[in-house]
Amino acid sequence: MLTQKQHELLCFIDDRLKDSGVSPSFEEMKEALGLKSKSGIHRLISALEERDFIRRLPNRARALEVLKLPEGGLPEVAPSNVISLRPETPVREVISNPAPAANNDVLEIPLHGRIAAGAPIEAMEGQTALSVPAALLGPGEHYALEVSGDSMIDAGILDGDYALIQKTEVARDGEIVVALIHEEEATLKYLRKEGGRLRLDPANAAYEPQLYNPGEVRIQGKMAGLLRRY
């Protein structure tokens, strides 16, 4: 059973998700419940999570999903000085898709290291994470790579930038892809088809295109965005 504040917070989160599809911020929750600090919100969120009323969506800074509500939206109130008259109040399941990421949401995606010769992408998995504005990403699963070198400089991709990559094994002609060559060297290049072969084009006149047979190259993703720190 829920306390009054837990119920108020649960209903507030549910209403906001229904209205906009976006979880309210902790600051908005604090103001809605009239609390003086966000620490109280953290405690309420944890309590609702422990009771399986909500869950935190993975890889998102503050996105929540409501799993269930008290039947009919009525509170299950049980503060310390009140006896609950409905201790066995049933709950109804809320069937919904995860809330879409808002433009001001921040996601955490795997950072697989520098995109350079010597290690396939798989060998770098799980090292660390990078916080990325959700607006830079589209649908699907993503990871980040730190760019090494200047072979894509004319495409605006500089040494030290973070390439945001959508995981995929297929790409269209002309897209910027992460290509794994001979299962050992990863490179970020434009993908072109030339006859029955694949051509990886740099975006720098100082570098030559590279031609490969299809079996020598494996696509591991295509570029979805770019993050640069100053």
**Spatial contact of 148 and 117, defined as CB atoms under 8 Å apart:** no
- The pTM score is 0.53
- Average pLDDT across each block of 10 residues of the chain; the chain has 230 residues. List them in order: 83 84 81 82 82 74 75 41 31 40 67 59 58 81 87 88 90 90 85 91 89 91 85
pLDDT of residue 230: 67
How far is 58 from 61, CA to CA, in rounded Å?
8
Indicate which residues carry an active-site annotation. 151, 189
What sections of the chain are H helices per DSSP?
4-20, 26-33, 38-50
How far is 68 from 158, CA to CA, in rounded Å?
47
pLDDT of residue 64: 81
CA pseudo-torsion sign 19, 22, 26, 27:
negative
Integer CA distances (angstroms), 202 to 157, 188, 199, in order: 11, 8, 10
pLDDT of residue 48: 85
Q: Residue 21's closest CA among 137, 106, 99, 105?
A: 99
Run of H or E residues at 206: none
pLDDT of residue 110: 85
